[in-house]
Amino acid sequence: MFLNINNLNVSIEGKKILNEFNITINQGEVHAIMGPNGCGKSTLANVLAGNEDFEVNSGKAIFKDEDLLDLNIEERAQKGLFLAFQYPVEIPGVNITPFLHASINSKLKNEKKPELDSLSFAKLLRKNAEELGISSDMLKRSINTGFSGGEKKRYEILQM
């Protein structure tokens, strides 16, 4: 199984948000978590991503054979967990290309793999950007600055 959450109980400031939450997602499956405001959808996402504002009272969240709840935020990110925001913030002055290059090299270094030189990174970035319909002009801009909603979402996918 890809993700298995068992009996997850979560609270914030003493208020129980998730009560005995369970779900199993197998590799290749797509699931949608739906419900009214306040039912715990964002809480679940934040807990899985490692947001320490939430208190996990009990339960397990097994992702790729490892309990996410035992990992810190950086370790979860290195496993491939990514939390996309509904309204991503603009970061003026931080150029997309060097940011992504530093990010991937940080991940590779942590995995004890060789870092990508500028040429190899540029080739990989062009390939992935092209697959997502991201123009080379967009890669020269600051993060999310002046992006449309769709451009922001494509950029978030590129970061993954």
Cα-only R_g, the chain = 18
Prediction pTM value: 0.70
Q: What is the mean pLDDT of each run of 10 residues along the chain (160 residues)?
A: 93 94 94 91 94 95 93 86 84 95 91 95 96 93 92 89
Report the pLDDT value the prediction gives residue 1, as an integer from 0 to 100.
66
Report the pLDDT value the prediction gives residue 81, as an integer from 0 to 100.
86
Report the pLDDT value the prediction gives residue 95, as an integer from 0 to 100.
95
Token pair recorded at residue 11: 């609270």
Long-range contact set of residues 151-160: C-beta below 8 Å, sequence gap at least 24: 152/88, 153/84, 155/88, 155/96, 156/82, 156/84, 156/85, 156/88, 157/132, 158/100, 158/128, 158/129, 158/132, 158/134, 159/82, 159/100, 159/103, 160/80, 160/82
Name the residue ranges covered by the structural domains of the chain.
3-78, 91-159
Exposed, middle or buried by CB within 10 Å (0-12, 13-18, 19+), for 63?
buried
Report the pLDDT value the prediction gives residue 44, as an integer from 0 to 100.
96
Report the pLDDT value the prediction gives residue 84, as an integer from 0 to 100.
81
Report the pLDDT value the prediction gives residue 54, as an integer from 0 to 100.
95
